[in-house]
Structure 1
Amino acid sequence: MALQISRGWSMPQINAALDSIGQNQLGYCIKDWQRDGAANLLSGNDVLLLIETGAGKSSLFYLYALARPSEVVIVVSPLKLLEKNLVDRLKSLKIRAACLNADSLIHAQQDGRDIWRECARGEYQVIICSPERLSSDEMDKLLALPQFQTRVGVVVVDEAHLIPVWGKEFRTAFNAIGSLRSRLRSSTVFLALSATLIPGKPTESVTHSLGLAGPRFCYIKRKCTRSNLYIIIRRICHSISTATFGDIEWIMFEIELRTEDDILLMKKTIIYVDNIAQGYRLTLYLRSLLPQNLRHLGSKIIRHIHASTCSKCKEEALAEFSRTDRLSLLRYIVASEAFGSGVDVGDIFRVINLGTPRDANSALQRGGRAGRKIPKGELIVYVNARTWDGVQQHLGLLDRRNSKRAKTQDSDSSENKISICSYFRRLLEAHMKRNCLIQTIQEIYGDDPTILRDEVGSSRPSRRRHDGALKIRRSAHRGPGRMTKEITAKAQALLLELVTDLWLCTPATSATQFEGPDAYMSAEKQSLLVKHIRDLETPGQVRCVLGTDWPYWETHQDQLNAEIQQIRRSVVQDLQANYLKRQAELQKKTSSQLARGPDSEYNSESDVTSAGSDSSDSESIDVPLADIMQATEPCEHSETHQSERLIIRLPARSKASQLVDTTSTQH
């Protein structure tokens, strides 16, 4: 029989009962702050809980629902994607739950059910809905029923930091959540949850909107800073308004992709973009960088999730991305805010924010998806070039030797042009001043600065992180693209020929006369040379690969270095030839697709910057141009999609000069 915590119990009794529920029904020992928060709710107090992402904030209303199974918990969730997962999680705890969204209501109607009536009859302990659904006529009717109203024990506002952000213009229903108090009993309590609610005006806005004040209000503040999140801030150097994305293409070359097994070595990554069209172009470009033999798996390796993606596609993508058995091919998700707050996938390694974030909260919330159940995670924020240079100029750090950047900022009057969140500006300035980013974040969120410096990333991290002891600087003249099997095999053959020739020229001794070339240079060292061949510009780099203890430096150093440079030049030439060949193939494919119409996949790598736009300005602006088309991507659930106008830029020379109206079924 389920334990029922009465309203008349003392705090020690409630705490003991919560510990029992945690052990027996949740399967773990609850933490002090979880016990404190749930006990305050059960005692009739409103609670505002601020704690880092991934800490387990939702456990507070799990505990409430398990402690008082006869009462109803209303959860206000900002994203529909999270609702079904929350329902499944609650059902696993034997808590009856339902989400009130368009999809669930339609499916219930098709099954001959009425979810609103089921809620009125008390069939669900937890009801999940959006702020917009909360203010609907159907919810008004449900809340007006006395028998339902008396059962509502707690209203949970998830991601409460969105109230002052989205409630102003984007989703005004967020501002109306607090009005629910007037429609419920005075004994109903409110629980607000956030990981990135900044002290001061943002917090005051939330407490005022939800009516959190007085002696019956409990404010629980834990640290909001993630000590295992490595934060990197970079300047965008290439336009993100075109069909190519030079700043982040490196993620496709971290792993030498040869077979399907290599795909599983790619680190799970979410790339957040500003709009659907930008995400679509990025998705196609990243897929085009896959090796030829793996491109047929492109839609399984890299997916695009946004607000107009059908609910079934979102659920499938989240389920596939959540797999931890290392058999999932889905490694990269390009996403909008629809795949943002609340997504709980334990083994995401990296989050990339492409473009200046609207505020610090947004960037850190997105970054909170990384490193949740693995030792380390990574957040990379790419900042618009004008914003970056404007802040640098304000700090007196802009490189005046770069005449183009300096003149651009001088003509822009940068002080009037920089319009970013003041908190994110603090982060950007800290990065440029080489201050610790974690310490700056602690100051922003009012955390106790007790995290050790060696537990967090540097505020000026290197461009790339490398594993292992061997570190070779990437050459600026390493050639485009990846090392194919053919190029690698050719380099191996040339190096083996070189090693054999040098070995034959080496006087034999009694100890070496019966040994082969492998004794001169091991197969392992040869493999390392081939692996780094395109970056070996100097004798010092070759010495770094072979090690200072290689016994033939004095006799063969000059000849070895000269021949390795010959091999390197051959490799770079082959890479350049492959790149030009691929460019020609893609151009031919694009021309063919344009001739066939808008139903084919757009995959051009041409420079498609619109006429009159400044390529140095890397902000994406997706507006109807003279040359546009509507691109689509096939979906197995086409009946669940709604019409969507997706505008994709094309080269000015293309023949597509009209917008073709069709129903987009893009992931």
Structure 2
Amino acid sequence: MGSHFTFSNPSGRTLVSKILADCLPEHIIPHDDQLTCVCQLLDGVNIVAILATNAGKTGIFYMFILTVLAIRSNPALCPAAYTRYPDNAAMIIILPTVGLSEEMSENMEALGLSSIVITANSISHARMHNQPSPWSLAVSQAAMIVMSPEQLSSDAFNHLLDMAEFNTRLLALGVDEIHLIDTWGRDFRKAFKNIGAVRARLPKRVVLAAVTGTLLAVGGQTERVCHDLGLRKGHFFMLRRSNLRHDLQLQFVTLTHGLGGSTFPDFDFIVHDTERRKCIFFCPTIKLAFTLFAYFWSIAPTFPPRDKRFLLYTAANWPSHNEAIRKQMREDGDFQVLVATDAASVGLTIPGIADVHLVGIEKQTVNKLLQELGRANRDYSVRDARGRVYLPPRAVEAAKKAVADAASHTSRKNLTRKQEGALMELELAQFILATCKTAEQNRLYDNPPPTSCTCRRCIAKPPPAPRERCNCSGPNCMPLPAPPKRPTVRTTITKKDRLTPIERALADQALIDFRWSLWDCLPETSPYLPDIFISDKEKDNLLDEWVHLRDRESLAARATSPELAPHLASLLAVIISLKDDFAFRRAVWLPVHDTLLGRTKSVPDRLEAISSAARKAVESARKAATSRHEIFVTCDTVSLPCGTIPAAHVYAGVLRRTASFSASDQPSVTAVESSETARPGEETLGKEQLGSLPRGELQALARSHRVKANTRSAAIIEALCEQFPDGVPYSSSPSTPHSNKRTLADPDVASTFSRSRKVAKLA
């Protein structure tokens, strides 16, 4: 071989291919583009490689070092190039995230390359466990030194460069995801801007390998990144390949609900997906990621286990926790949904991901969009992989405004950072408005026509070829059907048939007690939670359609849990019992309640109306067909701070009422007669003579009148509250408490409920 041997010629490529075939496992075969970049680096040329996601960009790093180490260990392989490289050559690799750094270090160790990760976490971990500092190991022991960009400005890094032992063996600097220099480097991680300055301190023999999958050819981004890296035009090698993923269908979906709340009905289909397609949800903030994760957790059944089915990956997690999540995603068959932030947007390689869903992307960049979509189908094992971008209804208007501002040359220089952050990126706006997303991506990145790779792996199993017809969701390709308009809810339930707030609270607590009673009957080793019987969503649905719950069939249509099916008879008994209570309450108390809230100005007129309404309520209760109730009425005169009030306390009460239900679900209601009688002529009343006048309702009336500035009425009610501070429950004698025993859950055993529901609890 000549003294000016170059690896970029055919003979050099053949030699490098042979060396790597001996160094790499059988399943790793260098692609043509990887060989091209490695040969340029071996010749001492800086490179910028723009390849599609999953094209093996980071493989260039370890292939280069493996070739150098092989030549140094066996000079006969290439005597002319032997002296170019130092012994024990080392390479610094700058990676943007901790997860990516740890994953790459593991991959390099598996190839036989010694590596060390230097991040704030690894330094702290070594200090806490009394281990050698990563910086000391980097001096002479590691071939691949993986670090975060923040470490480049540290005193420890400066000290490392000053050490002759390390300086003489440093051969290359690798930078992954260089597009982040122009995005993250401008905002919250300005350390990316230091990479070019660090290059000036390195020995001249150190070559630069800069790679990414998304570097815009329009808008000057490529020029800015190269300038920040200290690269001059004509003095480096650039390889730009198409970053289209032909195996991925790109879809833009318009949301029907906002992302600011705690519920996300647009994504309910994920939980009910019978195929259990593995997917990743990318969110712009940790708050949104956690809220979405909690929503999935709340509506999903407890089996399969939710802690295995749904995972949360953010920078707020401990690094060890995120590492465990990555391992679980690869090994656990129950995994289905990962909710993540930018921490997983670059470099995360998980096999079998069928779908990637992006939310909140309208304030991000098109580079970020494509990077996150690139997490799908990394192993080409899914035939119909999809990348879905969810946009709010006004995103199209914002995109049109961004394009119009650019066309009119509206400057953004005088805008504050907050104002500029609220505007949509021009390239993203153009991407959203494009009639064909594929054609627009080719324009933005100046994608060349696809090339065929001649490596053995691609010949045996070619990568997905371009489609004859684009399948993106653009109007000119395969647009998605318009989302159905949200139907106008025309409920058939009239206002009088709906539950009042107090009734709804009582019924809600009764249903919660019921499902807890069923859960108490399960074995202690059961993995289920109480909502396996009645979920919160089903419970709310039952309360909304309370009037329609008449029989077992109507109940079964709304409470569909298989675990609840054997207990529908018991649940129906509870509902019928509550309905009977509510009917009596409305027949007796509500007329008096409405009168108290009337607009009668004169106090005597009001009190007369109260007395009249009470008498009518008593007659209605006596004529009630559902059951018999013992009624008593007091019509005495009471002295209160606002004056003498006749019949202010008139109320119909039930002293004791017990309902028992047999297995046939037929209610049998009995009433116990009362010996309590009113004593006319008394100026004050005892608690036993008031009947059941709940304190909570009195306080509610008082608050209502205060709002209306009706101080006289408020004083009347407040005086009653003071006279009867505890209220009177529905039962004035001991009754059977709510039972949580097994007999309640057994449909073959009669269920007995004693309703001591106290509105006073709500006060």
TM-score by length of 1: 0.62
Partner SS, residue 454 of structure 1: coil
Q: Which moved more, 1:211-220 or 1:453-462?
A: 453-462
Partner of 1:448: 448
Name the aligned partner's letter for residue 38 of structure 1.
Answer: V
Distance in 1, matches of 2:360 and 2:124, equals 37
Distance 1:269 1:319 in 2: 16
Match of 2:249 among 220, 230, 237: 230
Structure 1 residues 474 and 292, CA gap change in structure 2 (3 angstroms): farther
Distance 1:202 1:463, change over 3 A: same
For 1:571 and 1:350, the matched residues in 2 are separated by 39
- Kindly state the Cα deviation for residue 105 of structure 1 after the two structures are TM-superposed: 2.2
The CA distance in 2 between the partners of 1:237 and 1:23, in whole Å, is 53
Residue 15 of structure 2, aligned match among 14, 17, 35: 17
Retained in 2: the 8 A contact 1:155–1:190?
Answer: yes
Q: Determine which of 131, 146, 168 is the counterpart of 1:150.
A: 168
Match of 2:347 among 342, 346, 351: 342
> What is aligned with 2:225?
206
Q: Which residue of 1 aligns with 2:307?
A: 299
Aligned partner letter, 1:58: T
- How far does the alpha carbon of each residue in 1:598-635 deviate from its partner, in whole angstroms, 9 at most, with x for none? xxxxxxxxxxxxxxxxxxxxxxxxxxxxxxxxxxxxxx
Q: Distance in 2 between matches of 1:47 and 1:9?
A: 16
1:558-597 CA-to-partner distances (Å, cap 9, x unmatched) read xxxxxxxxxxxx9999665669xx9xx9xxxxxxxxxxxx
Secondary structure in 1 aligned to 2:328?
Answer: helix
1:168 aligns with 2:196: no
Residue 41 of structure 1 aligns with an amino acid whose one-letter code is L
Provide the alpha-carbon RMSD of the alignment: 3.3
Greater relative contact order (Cα < 8 A, sep 6+): 1
The residue type paired with residue 117 of structure 1 is S
1:319 aligns with 2:327: yes
1:293: how far off?
4.3
Q: What's the secondary structure of 1:285's corresponding residue?
A: helix
Secondary structure at 1:160's aligned position in 2? Answer: coil
Q: Give the superposition deviation at 1:464.
A: 8.5
Q: 1:386 to 1:458 in 2, by over 3 A?
A: closer
Q: Does the 8 Å CA contact 2:215/2:445 hold for their aligned counterparts? A: yes
C-alpha change, 1:392 and 1:50, in structure 2 (3 Å) is: closer
1:420 aligned residue (414, 420, 424)? 424
Q: 2:326 is matched by which residue type in structure 1? A: L
Compute the displacement of 1:386 (Å): 2.3
Contact 1:144 1:183 in 2 (8 A): no
In 1, are the aligned partners of 2:20 and 2:66 still within 8 Å (CA)?
Answer: no
Give 3-state SS (helix, strand or coil) of 1:177's partner.
Answer: helix
Structure 1 residue 25, shift from structure 2 partner: 2.0
Deviation at 1:184, TM superposition (A): 0.8
SS of alignment partner, residue 254 of structure 1: coil
1:31 aligns with 2:31: yes
Residues 216-227 of structure 1 aligned to structure 2 (within 5 Å): 216-227=235-246
Consecutive unaligned residues of structure 1, counting only runs of 5 or more, are 256-264, 397-415, 466-472, 480-569, 586-667
2:402/2:429 contact within 8 Å kept: no
Shift of 1:320: 1.4
State the distance in 2 between where 1:195 and 1:174 align. Answer: 17
Map of 1:50 onto structure 2: 50
Shift of 1:395: 10
1:98 corresponds to which letter in structure 2? I
What does residue 271 of structure 1 align with?
281
Measure the CA separation in 2 of the matches of 1:394 and 1:129.
Answer: 37
Measured in 2, the distance between the counterparts of 1:114 and 1:428 equals: 48
AA aligned to 1:437 is: K
Q: CA deviation at 1:198?
A: 0.4
How far residue 106 of structure 1 moved from its aligned partner, in angstroms, is 3.2
Q: How does 1:94-493 map to 2 (within 5 A)?
A: 94-109=112-127, 110-120=129-139, 122-200=140-218, 201-255=220-274, 265-294=275-304, 297-323=305-331, 327-357=332-362, 358-374=364-380, 375-391=383-399, 419-430=423-434, 435-448=435-448, 451-454=466-469, 456-460=471-475, 461=478
Q: Which residue of 2 aligns with 1:526?
A: none
Fraction of identical pairs, as percent: 24
Q: Distance in 1 between matches of 2:556 and 2:401?
A: 42
Q: Deviations over 1:197-248 (max 9, x none)?
A: 0014110111001112254410001111111111111122212111101222
Q: CA deviation at 1:124?
A: 0.4
Any idea what the Cα deviations from partners look like across 1:120-165, whole Å, max 9, x if unmatched? 1x10000000100121111110011122112111111100000000
Query: Superposition pairs for residues 604-615 of structure 1, below 5 Å?
Result: none
Q: Structure 2: give runs of 5+ residues left out of the alignment.
A: 70-87, 405-419, 451-465, 490-551, 565-570, 572-763
Q: How many residues align?
A: 443
1-structure distance, mates of 2:222, 2:285: 28
Q: Which has more radius of gyration?
A: 2
Amino acid at match of 1:287: W
Assess if the C-alpha contact under 8 Å between 1:95 and 1:126 holds in 2. yes
- 1:92 is matched by which residue type in structure 2? A
Q: Greater shift after overlay, 456-465 or 360-369?
A: 456-465
AA in 1 matched with 2:306: G
On the 8 A contact 2:177/2:212 being kept in 1, the answer is yes
Cα contact 1:18–1:63 (8 A) shared by 2 = no
